[in-house]
A and B are shown apart, each in its own frame.
Chain A
Amino acid sequence: MAIRRTLLRLAVIGLMPMLLAGCWSRLEVNDRLFVSVMYVDAGADEGEVKLTLGFALPNRMTSIQQGIAGGGGNPYGTMSNTGPSIAVAFRRIQANIPRQINWGHTRVVVIGDKLARQGIRPVLEFITRQPAMQLKGFIFIAQGEAHRLSMVTPIMERFPSEILRELAAQKSIMNTTARDLLMSEPFEGDGLIGRISVDEVRLISEKGKKGLTLNNIGTGILRNEKLVGYLSASEQRGAMWVKDQMENALVTIQSPTDGQSIDLYVNQASTRIKLKQEGERVRIRISVRATDDVYSSNSALDFQDPQQIRQIQQALNEQLKERIERALERSQQLGADYFQFGSYMEWYLPSLWKQWKMDWRRHYEEDVIFEVVPEAKVARTGAIRSSYWKPITPEEGKEQR
Chain B
Amino acid sequence: MKWIRTVKYTGRYRRSPADTKWSPPEPRGSALSERISWLERQLAHSSDIVFRPFAAEFEAEAGHKGLIVYVENMIDTSLLELMIHNGLMRREPSLPGDASILAAENGKRSALAGVRTTTSLRHAVLAVLQGQLLLLFDDQPDIRIYPLRKVETRAITESTNESVIRGPREAFVEDIDTNLTMIRRRIKHPALTTEQLTFGTYTHTKAMLVYIEGICKQELVREMKKRLGRVEIDGVLGSSYLEEYIEDNPYSPFPQLQHTERPDVVSASLLEGRIALFVDGTPIPILAPLTLPMLLQASEDYYQRFIAATWIRTLRFFFLFVTLLFPSIYIAITTFHPEMLPPTLLITVAAARETTPFPALVEAILMELSFEALREGGLRIPKAIGQTVSIIGALIIGQAAVQAGIVSAPMVIVVSMTGIASFIIPHFDLGLSLRLLRFPIMIMAGAFGLLGVVVAIILIYIHLINLRSFGTPYLSPLAPLRPEDLKDVLVRAPWWKMRTRPHLHGTASDQREAAIKLPQLPEGGWDGD
Report A's interface with B, CB cutoff 8 A: 1, 3-5, 7-8, 18, 21, 23, 25-30, 32, 34, 36, 56, 58-59, 61, 64-65, 68-69, 102-105, 107, 132, 134, 158
Contact = CB atoms under 8 A, between A and B. Distances in A.
13 contacts: A21-B447, A23-B448, A25-B336, A26-B359, A28-B359, A28-B360, A29-B353, A30-B350, A32-B350, A34-B343, A56-B350, A64-B348, A102-B339
Given A23-B446, A26-B446, A34 B338 contact: yes
B150 to A, nearest CB: 47
Contact of A21 (B1, B338, B346, B448): B448
Given A29-B349, A61-B347, A105 B339 contact: yes
A17 to B, nearest CB: 8
Contact of A29 (B251, B346, B447): B346
A36 B360 CA distance: 23
A64 B410 CA distance: 11
A104 B352 contact: no
B307 interface: no
B334 interface: yes
Given A7-B251, A65-B405, A107-B343, 14 more contacts: A5-B5, A8-B1, A21-B448, A26-B446, A29-B338, A29-B346, A29-B360, A32-B338, A34-B338, A34-B347, A58-B354, A61-B351, A69-B354, A158-B347
Contacts of B356: 30
Interface string B409-436: 1000000000000000000000000000
> A28, A32, A104: which has the most chain B beta carbons within 10 Å?
A28
A29 B335 contact: yes
A64 B409 CA distance: 10
A226 to B, nearest CB: 31
Contact of A68 (B1, B251, B350, B355): B355
Contact of B351 (A3, A18, A28, A64): A64
Contacts, number: 92
B200 to A, nearest CB: 26
Contact of A5 (B4, B338, B343, B353): B4
Contacts of B4: 1, 4-5, 8
Given A29-B346, A30-B356, A61-B347, A23 B447 contact: yes
Contacts of A69: 354
Contact of B353 (A28, A34, A134): A28
A65 B339 contact: no
B271 to A, nearest CB: 35
A29 B335 CA distance: 6
Nearest to B7: A1
B335 A28 contact: yes
Contacts of B148: none
Ranked 7 nearest A-B pairs via Cβ? A104-B339, A58-B351, A58-B350, A61-B351, A64-B351, A59-B354, A29-B350
B404 to A, nearest CB: 10
Contacts of A26: 335-336, 359, 446-447, 449
A369 to B, nearest CB: 45
Given A21-B447, A36-B343, A27 B351 contact: no
Contacts of A25: 336, 449
B427 to A, nearest CB: 25
A224 to B, nearest CB: 32
A68 B354 CA distance: 10
> B4, B339, B409: which has the most chain A beta carbons within 10 Å?
B339
B355 A65 contact: yes
B317 to A, nearest CB: 28
Chain B interface extent, by class: 20 to 34
B342 to A, nearest CB: 9
Interface in B497-526: none
A32 B336 CA distance: 11
Interface in B354-372: 354-356, 359-360
Given A5-B4, A29-B350, A34-B347, A104 B355 contact: no
A36 B350 CA distance: 14
A21 B354 CA distance: 26
B257 interface: no
Contacts of A27: 335-336
B1 to A, nearest CB: 6
Nearest to A165: B343
Interface in B219-275: 251
B407 interface: no
A35 to B, nearest CB: 11
A5 B405 CA distance: 44
B224 to A, nearest CB: 22
A105 B355 contact: no
B510 to A, nearest CB: 37
A65 B4 CA distance: 52
B443 interface: yes
Nearest to A34: B346
A1 B5 CA distance: 7
Contacts of A102: 338-339
Interface string B446-477: 11110000000000000000000000000000
A69 B354 CA distance: 9
> A7, A21, A25, A26: which has the most chain B beta carbons within 10 Å?
A26
Contacts of A65: 351-352, 354-355, 405
A30 B354 contact: yes
Contacts of B359: 26, 28
Interface in B1-33: 1, 4-5
Nearest to B332: A26
> B340, B346, B405, B409: which has the most chain A beta carbons within 10 Å?
B346
A3 B252 CA distance: 11
A59 B447 CA distance: 26
A163 to B, nearest CB: 14
A58 B348 CA distance: 7
Contacts of B340: 104
Contacts of A134: 339
A23 B443 CA distance: 11
A59 B336 contact: no
A61 B446 CA distance: 27
A59 B405 CA distance: 12
> A29, A58, A158: which has the most chain B beta carbons within 10 Å?
A29
A36 B347 CA distance: 11
Contacts of A28: 334-335, 353, 359-360
B449 A68 contact: no
Given A28-B353, A34-B338, A69-B354, A18 B347 contact: no
B443 A18 contact: yes
B334 A29 contact: yes
A105 B346 contact: yes
Contacts of A7: 251
Contacts of B347: 34, 56, 58, 61, 158
